[in-house]
Amino acid sequence: MKRLLLSALLATLLAACQQVNTTSGGAVGANRKQSMLLSSAQVDQMAAASYADTIKKANQQGKLLPDTDPTVRRVRAISDRLIPQTVVFRPDAAQWKWEVNVEKSPELNAYCMPGGKIMFYTGIIERLKLTDDEIAQIMGHEIAHALREHGRERMSSEYGKAIAMQGGMQLLSIATGGKYDAYQDLAGGGLNALVDVTYSLPNSRTHESEADLIGLELAARAGYNPNAAVSLWQKMAAQGGGSGPEFMSTHPSSNTRIAELQAKVPVVMPLYEAAKVKATVSTPPKKTTKAK
């Protein structure tokens, strides 16, 4: 009986787990199939609620920079160039309800939650003395995580583990004649708690590699120098003493990361050059005053 119940549980998990490809490969070829147990709608809804709560708390604490702040304007100007490029990887991103905010904090961190909810901390901009090109690399990297739905993928994995664990507890309850409903805890808020847990976990090397490559291409298509990805991670590496910056605690580095980015720069450089030409053509010449 117990084996039949366990088999049924595993069969249900496998049936519910979808094999999807959230984005097209782009020039960098990020086209890995992904296993999803949760729907995009579920994850986007939870992420939006979590982001709204973050904004509310930051505002109450006086940490949320106003729309008129120069740093906010700078970050949003960069996002205005990057976000239109997301349709190359997934057209539906044009319909996302994008939000871009900046919080005053010494942390070296930034993120983009599912559905396009972006947050930058002033610490990462000020302490690393980031150029616009480097900010674009971080933003592209974080947007890439959202486009590829890495959060959903990780939450699906954690949710699957939780279901399996609860299923095992339920089997134990049945075997011992108990009446404990092992699923009530999972249904009673456990799913929402996965949002916080998931975003405190380190990203996998696979996720990081995909975000590096897609972010590199997004920035290049928006007219930001791809070589800035290399200088950015060199700055990050220089900050890696002691416990390391917060950004790297959830974005694990590797000895090959910079080398991998350097290898891909020639692939996206033509996109960057084309974007520069397009910007030059579309920008009207400045009026000059003749000398008298």
pLDDT band at 8 (very low <50, low <70, confident <90, very high): very low
Residue 166's pLDDT is 53
Give Cα 106 to chain centroid, integer Å: 20
Can you give the pTM of this predicted structure?
0.75
Residue 37 pLDDT exceeds 80: no
Percentage of the chain surpassing pLDDT 90?
48
**What does the DSSP assignment read for the chain?**
-HHHHHHHHHHHHHHH-EEE--S--TTTT----EEESS-HHHHHHHHHHHHHHHHHHHHHTT-BPPTTSHHHHHHHHHHHHHGGGGGGT-GGGGGS--EEEEE--S---EEEETTTEEEEEHHHHHHTT--HHHHHHHHHHHHHHHHTTHHHHHHHHHHHHHHHHHHHHHHHHHHTT----TTHHIIIIIHHHHHHHHTTSPPPHHHHHHHHHHHHHHHHHTT--TTHHHHHHHHHHHT-STT--HHHHSS---TTHHHHHHHHHHHHHHHHHHHHHHHHHHSPPPP-PPP-
Long-range contacts of 181-190 (CB under 8 A, 24+ apart): 186/162, 190/162
Of the residues 103, 142, 208, 210, only one is catalytic, namely 142
Residue 238's pLDDT is 84
Two tokens, residue 147: 């486009």
> CA-to-CA distance for 124 and 189, rounded, in angstroms?
33
pLDDT band at 207 (very low <50, low <70, confident <90, very high): confident
Residue 111's pLDDT is 96
Closest CA to 83 of 140, 22, 141: 140
> CA-to-CA distance for 86 and 100, rounded, in angstroms?
15
Is there a catalytic annotation at residue 208? no
> CA-to-CA distance for 7 and 13, rounded, in angstroms?
10
Residue 63's pLDDT is 98
> CA-to-CA distance for 18 and 37, rounded, in angstroms?
6
Q: Which residues contact 118 (CB under 8 A, 6 or more apart)?
A: 79, 98, 99, 100, 101, 110, 111, 112, 139, 142, 143
Query: Mean per-residue pLDDT for 220-247?
Result: 82
Q: Strand 117-121 and strand 99-103: pairing?
A: parallel
Q: Which residues contact 57 (CB under 8 A, 6 or more apart)?
A: none
Average pLDDT, the chain: 78
pLDDT band at 28 (very low <50, low <70, confident <90, very high): confident
pLDDT band at 168 (very low <50, low <70, confident <90, very high): very low
